[in-house]
Amino acid sequence: MNAEVLQTALLVANGVVIVLLPVLLLWLGGRIKTNVRESTRKALADYSARQQQFLASSAGSSRREPESGLFKEKQQDVYGRLYARYRRASNDFGTMIDRTLEPDFKTFSRDDLLRYLRLHKARERDAADAIAAMDRGDTFAMGRLMTRLHDRLSYRDANTAFNRAKTFGAMNELYLSDAVRQSVANVRESIHAVSVGLMRNDGERRDAKHAPTKDAMETAVSQLLRVMRDELRGTEDSPHVSPPDIRVLPVEAPKPQPMTSGLRARVSQRIQ
């Protein structure tokens, strides 16, 4: 009796296993497929969001590149013209201090004197005393008077160049970086110091007295040149945004395990 009960229970258990095992395998396969679809959907949604962000960033970069190029081109033009203006003003004031290009008026003829006045946009009445001294044959007095007139005209031209440089810098301040703006301020202060010193000592020898201010002016202009040159030569690589690379690895569903030989033999025996 116990053997028959045990055999019946074993037969029932085997039948339950045979019936439920395929159902369990089907249920597990469905769960795995559902999880795979859900993970793939989330990965695709994340990829789509990142792709949209990349496209928006690329579009913004493509719009900014032409604008940045135009700004850089204008900045280069402003830097070159601004430096040329301040260099001319500093050269004009430096020439007044050094007197390196001062004409020898004692050797001038009347035609040379009138040509000089036209070249420097001066009126004849400004040199009336010098012309009168020349007519008298007093070349020493003529030379001294023309030297003073030359100083006044040179000072006028140097200040004109200085004012043009300041005006140009103020009108194009938008394109100046902080470093260039500070260097321009230093140049402006140094040239102003030379200009004030020459105005207070009109008619005197200037080379020794104004040597310190001239050196400071030349140093400031050289520093401006270095700062501008470093900025114009420097190139900043714009950051490149690469598109996202998302790879969804396939998830393989587990293959159902084959029925063991012992279980198959017992089932066949019971069926027979």
Nearest one of 25, 43, 13 to 258, comparing CA atoms: 25
Pick from 152, 86, 89, 82: which is nearest to 117 by CA? Answer: 152
Per-residue pLDDT at 63: 53
Could you give the CA distance from residue 258 to residue 264 in angstroms, rounded to a whole number? 10
Query: How many CB atoms are closer than 10 A to CB 70?
Result: 10
User: What is the C-alpha to C-alpha distance for residues 97 and 95, in angstroms, rounded to an integer?
Assistant: 5
Closest-CA residue to 199 (of 188, 210, 186): 210
Residues contacting residue 71 through CB under 8 Å, at least 6 positions apart: 175
Q: What is the pLDDT of residue 18?
A: 73
Domain-by-domain residue ranges, the chain?
1-61, 72-233
Residue 243 has a pLDDT of 42
What pLDDT is recorded for position 254? 47
Q: Where are the alpha helices (DSSP H) in 99-127?
A: 110-119
Cα 38 to Cα 44: distance, rounded to the nearest angstrom = 10
**DSSP 8-state class, residue 173:** G
- State the pTM of this model: 0.58
Given this model, what pLDDT does residue 246 score?
42
CA distance 75 to 212: 33
- pLDDT, position 262: 54
* 8 A C-beta contact, residue 225 and residue 36: no
Establish how many alpha carbons lie within 13 A of residue 234's alpha carbon, considering only the half-sphere containing its beta carbon: 7
pLDDT values of the chain reduced to their tens digit, one per residue, 272 residues: 567 767 677 766 666 667 666 777 777 777 787 887 888 888 888 887 887 777 767 655 555 555 578 888 899 999 999 999 999 999 999 888 877 677 888 888 888 888 988 888 888 888 888 889 888 888 889 888 888 888 889 889 999 999 999 999 999 999 999 999 999 999 999 999 988 888 766 544 455 566 678 889 999 999 999 999 999 887 443 344 344 444 444 444 445 455 555 545 554 555 44
HSE-CB for 13 with a 13 A CA cutoff? 8
**Phi, psi of 180, rounded to the nearest 5 degrees:** -70, -40
Q: What angle do CA 102, 108, 112 make, to 5 degrees?
A: 95
